[in-house]
Each structure stands twice: as C-alpha cells, then as structure tokens.
Amino acid sequence: MFKQFLHSSDGSMMPIMVLATIPLLLAVGFSVDYTSAVTTRCDMQNALDAAIISITTLPTTTSKADRQVALQQAYLANAGQGTASLTSVDIGADGTASFSATASYPMPTNFMQIAKISSVQVGVGSSVRKTPALVQTTFKVTKVSGYWNKTMTLYGTRFGETGAKPLMTVTYAYNGYGDPKGYGTTTVKTINGSTETTVQQQVCTTSTVKNFNDLPAGAITQSSGSKKYVTTCADTFYPANGAGATIDVSAMDQLYLEMDVPSGNPKVLKSNDPATSNRLYMGVSPTDMPEVATGQTVNIFTAVPCGQPGYQAWEDGGNPVPAAVSNADFFYTVQGKCDYNQRPSATVLTQ
C-alpha cells in the first residue's frame, strides 16, 4: 500500500496528508511556545516577588522613583525578563506598608511565527504587606546586685551582614561592701560604631545602722546577725530628662542579649542560646516575670512590648535554675516603639 501511495498519480491523497499535517505541526509548535511562555512567566514571578520584598527594606524616606530603580535592578538580578514597574506604595500613619508591582515581557516565539505571531506578552504581578514591628527599644536599669561584676550587652546584626555588633552595654561593678547581698555601681551606655555614650548611672551605697527607723524612700534593708545594713541607690540620667538607653533597631535583622559574668558558672549567658536562656526572666510587672523555659530561645523583637513597659531580669549564675525571680540580680525595664520597619522577614506576599 505504501508503494501504491508513492506511485499514485491521481493526487487525491497528498493534499489530504499535507492539510492534515499542518494543523498537527502547528499544534506541536504552539505547545512548545506555550511551555516556554509558562516557564518564562514562572521565572518572572519569582524575580518580581524577590524584587518587591527587597524594596520594603528601604527607609520610609526613599522616594517612589528611587524604589522603582531599586525594583528594576533587583528584578533583573533575579533573572527577570522585561520591565518591572512599581504601581503603588502606601505607608500608613501606624507604620503599615503596602507595595504593588507588575512586570511584562514580549516573549519571542519560534513556531507561532508560522501563524504570524512573533511574540507573546507575558505579565505577572506581586503585592506585599508589612505590619508595624519593633523599630526602637529603650532599656532602663531598675536594680542590680551581687558580689560578681557583670555586663549585659545588646547585640544586633544589620541586613546583609553576618557579624553582630554591640548596640548597648550595662556594666555592673560591685562596691565591695554589702551583707548579705552586695550592691554597686551600674553604668548604661549606648554604642554607635566606636562611639560610646553614657545614658544612665546607678550608684548604690551600703552602710550599717542601729535600726531601720526613718529610712529614705526606696531604701533596701538587710540584716546579718545583730548587724543591720541599709542600701540606697541613686540614678543619674544623661541628659537629665533621659529615659535610659534608647536604641534604633529598625535596620536590624537579628537581636540578642548577652550576660557576661567572669566569676559565674556559666560565664556567658545568651538569650538566643537554648542552654543558657533559661536564666532570663520576662513579664508584665516587677513580680510577675516567668523564667524562660529550658531549651528555648528568645526573639527580642517580640520580647519587647510596643508602647508599654515590659520587665526583665537575669539570674547571673549564683543560684541554680529554675528559681523564683526574687533570686535574680539584674533587673531592668524595656519598652519598644513599633512602626514601619526594614526587616524583610516581616513582609508577607499578598498576591
């Protein structure tokens, strides 16, 4: 039959085969171009998602035009095809932010050119939303005690960096006099690069007294045998109307607290270390401060309350844990301010 087909001269079969083959070839060719378009669209979507998230880390003062430039650069860097356009930027008074963008690309075709279709327009869109988050935190020492010198440091890691840098130190020096509990001088400093600025100093002095009559407000009384001790602490803020150590954390990707106690065991305590974070207390009042559960880590961004004071304390190693917060030696208040933040982790894709 094949030979007969080849030698057929009536011309009735060949046109039919040609007509039947053309749609088949077109269908196969169109499917190849379609698959290419789907792949291109997927790559463009991934690139646009990455790009729009990246521009949410820019400060609120960044103009829309500058965000557009940054969007296109990030889009191309993530292998996006065509042009990305920033369609809307909305940052509310409470710090809530919304961004929308689109990208389009006239993808050249191969087989579809048979049908005089030289390109196919591929388009994608992305939108993100950011809720307000911690951008500033203020630490104020309330009372530090103990016979061991110690230092608490707040460390932060900026976006795009791997090394943590100190943002604040709270240093306690025992005054060598106190029984049964020792007190001393605590100095709070903010750190900006190589510049350290003292913002609070608490000086505690201890003396023996015959009785506990007519004591000044806030005096701490102690007894050891027949001896009576009174400790008074005085705070000095710099400037005089200051509230403590106020630190901008809006550009920080990670935060953690570290307590260094050279004479303690352990000597180093960290809020992000599950082996030592259980020596940190956090709560809503000076007496209601539950201890961090053993094996847990603390996210400082969520541990600092927004717009209201929070209470924290450390047990520096002199007592085993778990233990009541009354055994702690390092007490301070912490208050946060929440607003538009530059952390990409706080961004959620909504489209």
- Alpha carbons within 13 angstroms on the beta-carbon side of residue 4 total 2
pLDDT band at 20 (very low <50, low <70, confident <90, very high): low
State the average pLDDT for the chain. Answer: 89
Strands across the sheet containing 184-192: 220-224, 227-237, 195-209, 184-192, 165-174, 150-158, 252-260, 268-270
Helix (H, G, I), strand (E, B) or coil at 289: coil
pLDDT band at 112 (very low <50, low <70, confident <90, very high): confident
pLDDT of res. 343: 82
Residue 16 has pLDDT above 70, yes or no: no
pLDDT of res. 51: 95
pLDDT band at 26 (very low <50, low <70, confident <90, very high): low
* pLDDT digit string, tens, across residues 249-259: 988 989 999 99
pLDDT of res. 45: 96
The rounded distance, in Å, linking the Cα atoms of 129 and 97 is 6
The rounded distance, in Å, linking the Cα atoms of 264 and 186 is 18
Chain CA centroid to CA 36, Å = 38
Let me know: does 45 contact 124? Beta carbons within 8 Å: yes
Strands across the sheet containing 309-314: 245-248, 133-144, 330-339, 309-314, 280-283
Give me the percent of the chain exceeding a pLDDT of 70.
91
pLDDT of res. 257: 97
Residue 17 has pLDDT above 60, yes or no: no
The rounded distance, in Å, linking the Cα atoms of 221 and 47 is 65
Instruction: Write down the pTM of the prediction.
Output: 0.77
pLDDT of res. 10: 60
Let me know: does 168 contact 190? Beta carbons within 8 Å: yes
Structure-token pair, residue 175:
């005054």
pLDDT of res. 2: 59
pLDDT band at 109 (very low <50, low <70, confident <90, very high): confident
Residue 12 has pLDDT above 60, yes or no: no
Of these ranges, 22-36, 136-150, 213-227, the one predicted with the greatest mean pLDDT is 136-150
CB-based burial label for 2 (10 Å; 0-12, 13-18, 19+): exposed
* pLDDT digit string, tens, across residues 265-317: 899 999 999 999 999 999 999 989 999 999 999 999 989 999 999 999 999 88
Let me know: does 341 contact 95? Beta carbons within 8 Å: yes
